A and B are shown apart, each in its own frame.
Chain A
Amino acid sequence: MITLTAVTKTYPGASAPAVTGLSLTVPEGEIAVLVGPSGCGKTTTLKMINRLIEPTSGVIAIDGRNVLDLDAKELRRGIGYVIQQIGLFPHRTIAENIATVPRLLGWDNARIEARIDELIDIVHLEPEMRNRYPRELSGGQRQRVGVARALAADPPVMLMDEPFGAVDPIIRARLQDQFLELQAELRKTIVMVTHDIDEAIRLGDRVAILNVGGILEQYEPPADMLAEPANDFVADFLGSDRGLKRLGLIPVASIDLDGGPIVAPSASPADAMAAMAEHGTDWFAVGEGGRLDGWAHGAALDGVNSSVGDLPLRRYRSRIGVGATLKEALDVVLSSRTRFAAVFDGENYLGMLTADRISQEIVR
């Protein structure tokens, strides 16, 4: 756990503090993201935690121990550090870069070698990268090496300053996903700095929005903040699509689903008419017991006497996985001609989502 208590930093010769009376707590195993406009002191705050910058006043403690009471070198060797430029050592191979902190800690060679292999695997690097130099790697690969190097001595705390800032957007999204998977497993206590509110919302268990001068405007889990921004500054910073952003945080799995206008294959045309009337549609779906066979227009029922299972059915195309977010589901709903998205868990049909149903989640 990291606690900042009334931390203030005034740089020599500056008229106003860069960070003003900042207090916040990062619980064990969580990601706190500091976000704000330039000049909001977010990087200064980060660097005060590992003493690259010393606070003018206030207390920063890790697990209850004031960082200023610890030996700076020892403190830093226990904190993983990842920066935007990555800062790999160009004269050292990937393996040697990863081994940096273990070597400083004086681990024996066998242990270091084993740890390098393990980390190369954890961050999804190819084993043959081991003996390459940083220059020979792509931006995304270097970023992974940076993370591996920070994790090398298995520090409980990680500090990350725009860790995905130097890679292009497509690779960034993939690295962020992998980072979240890794974090789900490793449960580090992480403080991250970014200027990108979407990244903050996506990665943070809690988001701290800082104003110029390091004034904390709000510090909450992103879903709560999107639902109730503390003030206009926070609302502006979150952007005008706050509702949509919130949908991006809610998994489809978390809401109750309606079956939609669906009838069993054995149902009569009258049953199908009733289902259409109930849902206000001119089409119906056929299926039962976790199966969705397909759909047909209501007009196809004209003059049919047998069960609906005998009708020619069309495949239902607007599908969404249960692991998706409501934002992704909304996209499918809006792109669907029927305005219904069928939700599946693998091959198992769970129910239908509509724009109305999704909107209830924002309004709630």
Chain B
Amino acid sequence: MIVLAQGDSGPFIRWDWIFSHLDEVWDKVFEHLVLTFIALAAGMAISLVLTVVALRYRRSYGPITWVTGALYTIPSLALFAFLVPITGFSVLTAEIGLVSYTLLILVRNTVAGIDGVPADITEAAIAMGYDRRRMFWEIELPLALPVIIAGLRIAAVTTVGLVTVTALIGQGGVGFFILRGLGRFFSTEIVLGTALSVILAVAIDGALIALERALTPWAKTRERVA
């Protein structure tokens, strides 16, 4: 950044430029949020399916973590480069990558959350006449929520960061500013894109904390008592 700033004759941040481009800023912030939201929602849905499979057929849990783990290790740039010839410079390409990176964290936390439900509680549920499916939705899943949301928070922060990378394939939300700023050695845009990305990550994390509090009032009382 310092090197870049040297190539720039103007001040480090030109506030007037930002204020004159507010419409574009909002557009990109909105796009960033949408890309993040779709990635998390799709990631959560796929993870839930994978979790149900992993819990039902215990032997599948190894391969599931292996595959999602492998996806997680692929460099994002390489993955997008690989996908572009197939799905083009599209939202779909961006989302395939973004969703892939959420799976490992979400599946692992969801399985851990369900596994963490105390045995006496599931035993009581079955002994009172719950079937497995109803117990999963009404007992296990709600009790696993704190752990699941903890995973969702990590996945959300990671995704917000990764969305900026998708600027390279014509998406990218606020990453667009970083890329364009780099292209024309304009530090204001680089700083703007970076700062917005950080702010979005913090804001989404905060929103998820609030969501957890709202969804698990029973756990909040535990903190109060303890």
| B142 CB within 8 Å of chain A | yes
Instruction: Identify which of A52, A91, A104 contacts B143 (C-beta below 8 A).
Output: A91
Report A-chain residues with C-beta under 8 Å of the C-beta of B216.
91
Whether the Cβ atoms of B218 and A100 lie closer than 8 Å is no
Whether the Cβ atoms of A89 and B125 lie closer than 8 Å is yes
How far is the CB of B139 from the nearest CB of chain A, in Å?
A: 6
Q: Known contacts A83-B120, A91-B142: does B130 contact A104 (CB below 8 Å)?
A: yes
* B-contact 0/1 string along A130-148, CB 8 Å cutoff: 0001111000000000000
Whether the Cβ atoms of A86 and B120 lie closer than 8 Å is yes
Whether the Cβ atoms of B225 and A135 lie closer than 8 Å is yes
| B127 CB within 8 Å of chain A | yes
In chain A, positions 6-60 with a C-beta closer than 8 Å to chain B are 50, 52
In chain B, positions 23-45 with a C-beta closer than 8 Å to chain A are none
Report B-chain residues with C-beta under 8 Å of the C-beta of A91.
139, 142-143, 216, 218-219
Q: Known contacts A87-B121, A89-B121, A135-B225: does B126 contact A52 (CB below 8 Å)?
A: yes
Of the candidates B124, B126, B130, the one having the most CB atoms from chain A within 10 angstroms of its own CB is B124
| A319 CB within 8 Å of chain B | no
Report A-chain residues with C-beta under 8 Å of the C-beta of B222.
90, 135
Q: Known contacts A89-B139, A90-B218: does B225 contact A81 (CB below 8 Å)?
A: no
In chain B, positions 127-153 with a C-beta closer than 8 Å to chain A are 127-131, 134, 139, 142-143
How far is the CB of B110 from the nearest CB of chain A, in Å?
A: 16
| A337 CB within 8 Å of chain B | no
Which single residue of chain A is at the shortest CB-CB distance from B216? A91
Whether the Cβ atoms of A77 and B218 lie closer than 8 Å is no
How far is the CB of A60 from the nearest CB of chain B, in Å?
A: 15
Report B-chain residues with C-beta under 8 Å of the C-beta of A79.
127
Report A-chain residues with C-beta under 8 Å of the C-beta of B118.
85, 87
| A364 CB within 8 Å of chain B | no
| B20 CB within 8 Å of chain A | no
Of the candidates A74, A75, A87, A149, the one having the most CB atoms from chain B within 10 angstroms of its own CB is A87
| A76 CB within 8 Å of chain B | yes
Total interface residues in chain B, CB < 8 Å: 23
Which single residue of chain B is at the shortest CB-CB distance from A81? B127
Q: Known contacts A90-B218, A91-B216: does B123 contact A83 (CB below 8 Å)?
A: yes
| A202 CB within 8 Å of chain B | no
Whether the Cβ atoms of A87 and B124 lie closer than 8 Å is yes
Whether the Cβ atoms of B218 and A76 lie closer than 8 Å is no
- State in angstroms the CA–CA spacing of A77 and B221 once bound together: 30
Whether the Cβ atoms of B225 and A136 lie closer than 8 Å is yes
Q: Known contacts A89-B121, A90-B121: does B221 contact A76 (CB below 8 Å)?
A: no
Report B-chain residues with C-beta under 8 Å of the C-beta of A76.
126-129
Whether the Cβ atoms of B123 and A87 lie closer than 8 Å is yes
Which single residue of chain A is at the shortest CB-CB distance from B226? A135
Report A-chain residues with C-beta under 8 Å of the C-beta of B129.
73-77, 101, 104
How far is the CB of B220 from the nearest CB of chain A, in Å?
A: 9
Whether the Cβ atoms of A50 and B120 lie closer than 8 Å is no
Whether the Cβ atoms of A104 and B128 lie closer than 8 Å is yes
Q: Known contacts A90-B143, A101-B129, A135-B225: does B124 contact A83 (CB below 8 Å)?
A: yes
